[in-house]
Amino acid sequence: MGRLMDSPSVKTPAKTSVLLCGDRASELAMGSFAEGVSVQIVPELCQSTRNIGQLALGATSLVVGVCSGEYSLGAIQTQARKVGLDALGVELVDLNCANGDPERLRLMVGAAVARAAAFGGSRLGNAKQTFPSRMTRRSLFRLSVPAYVSAPQPDSTRCTAGTGCHACVAVCSRGALAWTKGVITHDNAACEPCGLCVTACPTGAMVDPGITPRQLEAQIRALLDPGVGPVGARGIVYTCRRAGVSETNAGWYPVVVACTGMVPPSWLLAPLLLGAGATAARPCGDSDCPMHNDERLASTVAYCHAFLEAVGIDSGLVSMSTDVPRSGLDRRVEPDDPFGPFAADVLRALADVGQHSGDVVLDHPASPVGIIKIGVEACTGCTICAQSCPTGALAWRVDSEVGGVDDVVGGVGDVVGGGRDVVGGGREEITFDASLCTACGQCLPRCPEASRDAITLSVTTDVAALRREREVLFAENVMRCVSCGKPIAPTKMMARIRDLIGDDAEPVMRVLTRYCVDCRGAGVPPHSAE
Amino acid sequence: MTKARAKAAPEMEESLNWAELTLLRQGLYRFFGAVFMAPSQDGIQALGAGALVLDSLGIDRFAYSGPWQKLRSAMGALQSATDLEAIYISLFVVGGGRTPCPPVESHYVGDPSKGEAGVFDAELKRYYQDLGLALSSTHRHTHDHLSVELEVMSALCAREHTAWEDGVFGAAAGEQRCELDFLNKHLGTWLGLFACRVAEAQSAGFYSDAAAACWAFVHHDHEFLRLIVQMRDDPESDD
């Protein structure tokens, strides 16, 4: 087998600059990295960061390996800005985590390079200024250079707050997020970036530029690259940014997130499909932690255990501790977008790997997917649930022999798929795609008939449902305007209105059931279509 | 290097002096105040000189450095005041029947149809008087004009700077509270909307870069003041 020809001998300039503090890195023989990565060992880098800018000149991303807590993050970020880099994209590697193993160091640095290269840039508001937690007498004279951590901001192009979604607001324990007139506002000063809103957002619209699905995937794939690093099973352990990376056992590789409470089940399960021997998320154990997310993490891990067990996979592959990593799965399956907002693909892939033949139905409060049921007796077909579904898991269809469907209904269907379509026969349908449901529950409070159980959400993982095509939950004939032919409303809605109005309904119903909103207001004589 | 030296080195190297920091903030507010006044050849030269001074005060240490550098590039490409004047007028004075981005608070916060501009002007005049400030008679702008509000912040920072220089820390803290109050009630409430409006009206160019840099700076300064005041108010603080 021949190799592909190497590219012409035109040297491309280094794109990622890796600067390692020589106090630890010089002990280790750094191997070569991919083209475009320049590695320099800098004596006493942790103590003096002044040369970082000069050394990183021309780079498009920067990785800094530090070996002691003496370094100033603010000073490193300042140097990055000097050479035009986005300071929030600088990746730090704790060289102590290499445990003196050059192969391990090379793997970790390579993964940090991958994560830095996947950084997509930040926006105003993503930089959260940090200070020492207390003002001291000394700080009356001098302040340390401000260090910034990345904080989430809603991406208005993907945010569905306009339809009423406020899933991010519901999980914020700091009161930093608010929903006002269809817009999510973020108070950076109140935010203690924990990332809960990032993974709670059903559409992935809440973006923390330092912890994006793309970055995680890049870093984890690099850490699991069998062609690099020590031989043997590798574990992926999520660690809290606030607590810093502490000692990890050999064979375990840290991936920093804002807070391990933010880690959803799919982030713990996906690395197994990518080749990890095991995954873990370690609570910071910091009694001063303002997040108090340990319980949330414990529930997420418990869900992973239950799911793996249900599909016939060793549940010990996911844990909250870093014991010796296990050997992982027998087969590797590549899920689409493993760290994205939809967990269905990861769950389906694991069920395939587990080759479990029976039904897997798992009720668990941490389930990342859910099942919507519509009570056909109570539902009037108003479609508000589908209009408010952020992901398009719930959608609706109305036939339209007169005029386009867009004239009849509107909603979020065009944002994330699903939504509007044309069916024949004068009927309205509400449909459901379980693979798009994130169990966010945004549809529930908007249902006008919720008290009559017109809609219910089960926080349940049903693998068979995840594999099914979109299904029809509600179908009803639609009344049409006798004047212009446009749909008026489902017959069940008219029946409900009749019930609510009571005995005096007939005169009103005569108009309501015959004419659409436009013709009612247009002075169309009732006899014109009689 | 001994352990003790290693520990001390980064702190000495990278800490900030309050007086210097306040001087930088004062300079930036004044600089941006001048940017949004009607352009002149002398004014452009003064802006260039001022920007060089500000560069030397260590803007790289702050997150608004990126937008600032972009503005610096745009300033380098500036040709003449005449070109800038035409754009200034089309954006901020008149433009196709209506002003695309009026640089006045009352347009964004109040209801222009209710004639609230006068009310705003009077309220701000009183607010400035309470601070011991008054608009110079040579100034032709209203009290809620962006340049005036930025200049007010600059004046408050100048007082804070003096307090730090004199070692009167309580007075400096008091000035920071005044600055935060003004940002909370006025400048911080509408500058972001103004910057968005300028970006919509001029997708690239000096004024869109200037508005973006100004908003980035004020946004971060607002957050900085909130954090500082919040920490000082913290009962666990030992100062």
For residues A18 and A38, what is the distance between their CA atoms, to the nearest angstrom?
A: 6
Residue A136 to residue B238, Cβ atoms within 8 A: yes
Q: B45 Cβ partners below 8 Å, 6+ apart?
A: none
pLDDT in tens, A101-153: 888 888 999 999 999 999 999 998 899 988 765 666 666 667 788 899 999 99
Q: Do A72 and B227 touch (CB under 8 A)?
A: no
Residue type, A448: P
b/e string for A274-310 if b means 16 or more Cβ within 10 A?
Answer: bbbbbbbbbbbeeeebebebbebbeebbbbbbbbbbb
Q: Tell me how far apart the alpha carbons of residues B218 and B212 are, in angstroms, rounded to a whole number.
A: 10
Please give the residue of chain B at the shortest CA–CA distance from A48: B10
pLDDT at A96: 84
Cα–Cα distance for residue pair B10/A50, rounded to 1 Å:
10
Are A140 and B18 inside 8 Å of each other by CB?
yes
Residue B11, chain A, CB below 8 Å: the answer is yes
For tokens 């923390």, the residue is A208
Closest CA to A17 of A56, A49, A66, A58: A56
Burial of A485 (0-12, 13-18, 19+ CB in 10 A): middle
Nearest by CB to B6, from A70, A124, A142: name it: A70
Beta pairing class for A235-240 and A252-257: parallel
* pLDDT on residue A14: 52
For A138, the closest chain B residue by CA position comes to B239
In this structure, how many other beta carbons lie within 10 angstroms of the beta carbon of residue A238? 23
CB contact under 8 A, B69 and A68: no
pLDDT of A7 higher than 70 = no
Please name the residues in contact with A477: beta carbons below 8 A apart, sequence gap of 6 or more: A426, A427, A428, A490, A491
pLDDT of residue B235: 54
Q: Which residues pair with A253 in a beta bridge?
A: A236
pLDDT computed for residue A385 by the predictor: 95
**Using 50, 70 and 90 to split pLDDT, how confident is the model at A359?**
confident
Length of chain A as a residue count: 530
Residue A80: closest CA among A113, A56, A107:
A56
Question: Would you state the pLDDT for residue A25?
Answer: 65
Residue A288 touches chain B, beta carbons under 8 Å: no
Q: In angstroms, rounded to a whole number, what is the distance separating the alpha carbons of residues B34 and B32? A: 5
Question: Is residue B4 very low, low, confident or very high in pLDDT (cuts 50, 70, 90)?
Answer: very low
Residue A408 confidence (pLDDT): 37
The pair phi, psi for residue B222, each rounded to 5°, is -60, -45
Evaluate if residue B114 carries a pLDDT over 80: no
A137 vs B contacts (CB less than 8 Å): 238-239
Using the beta-carbon criterion (under 8 Å), do B220 and A127 form an inter-chain contact? yes
CB-nearest to B223 from A50, A86, A189 is A189
Segment A413-437, tens digit of pLDDT: 333 333 333 333 478 899 999 999 9
* Least confident range of A54-63, A110-119, A142-151, A499-508: A499-508
**CB neighbourhood size of A159 (10 A):** 23
Residues of A in contact with B56 (CB under 8 A): none
Chain B residue with CA closest to A143: the answer is B16
**B13: pLDDT strictly greater than 60:** no
Query: In this model, does residue A29 exceed pLDDT 60?
Result: no
Please give the residue of chain B at the shortest CA–CA distance from A133: B231
Structure tokens at A461: 């993982």
What burial letters (b/e) apply to B44-72, b meaning 16+ CB within 10 Å? Answer: beebeebbeebeeeebbbbbbbbbbbbbb
Kindly state the percentage of chain A with pLDDT values over 70.
84
Residue B13 and residue A50: Cβ atoms within 8 Å? Answer: yes
Chain A CB within 8 Å of residue B168 CB: no
The rounded distance, in Å, linking the Cα atoms of B220 and B147 is: 18
Per-residue pLDDT for A22 more than 70? yes
ipTM, two decimals, is: 0.84
Number of A/B CB contacts below 8 angstroms equals 109
Q: Chain A: give the shortest CA distance to residue B82, in Å.
A: 31
Least confident of A193-207, A288-302, B193-207: A288-302
- For B160-174, write each residue's pLDDT tens digit: 999 999 999 899 999
Spell out which residues of chain A touch residue B231, defining contact as CB-CB under 8 Å.
131, 134-135
Q: Do B62 and A146 touch (CB under 8 A)?
A: yes
Q: If you write DSSP's letter for every residue of A330-353 in order, what string do you get?
A: SS----SSTTSS--HHHHHHHHHH
Mean pLDDT of chain A: 84
Q: Are A88 and A126 in contact (CB under 8 A)?
A: yes
**Shortest distance, CA A167 to any CA of chain B (angstroms):** 25
Smallest Cβ distance to A129: which of B7, B58, B223? Answer: B223
pLDDT tens digits for range B62-76: 999 999 999 999 998
| Residue B146 and residue B36 in contact, taking contact as beta carbons nearer than 8 Å | yes
CA distance B36 to B134: 19
Neighbours of A400 (CB within 10 A): 21
> Which tokens belong to A139?
């700080």
Any bridge partners for residue A474, and if so which?
Answer: A430
Alpha helices in A83-225 (DSSP H): 102-117, 167-171, 196-200, 213-223
What per-residue confidence (pLDDT) applies to A306?
Answer: 97
Per-residue pLDDT, A400: 55
Q: Per the structure block, which two tokens stand in for A152?
A: 């989430």
Contact B227 A127 (CB under 8 A): no
As a whole number, mean pLDDT of residues A191-220 equals 95
Contact (CB, 8 A) for A347 and A340: no
Question: Which chain A residues have a beta carbon less than 8 Å from that of B62?
Answer: 146
Residue A381 zone, left/alpha/beta (φ > 0; ψ -120 to 50; rest): left
Q: Which residue from A208, A159, A151, A152 is spatially nearest to A179, judged by alpha carbons?
A: A159
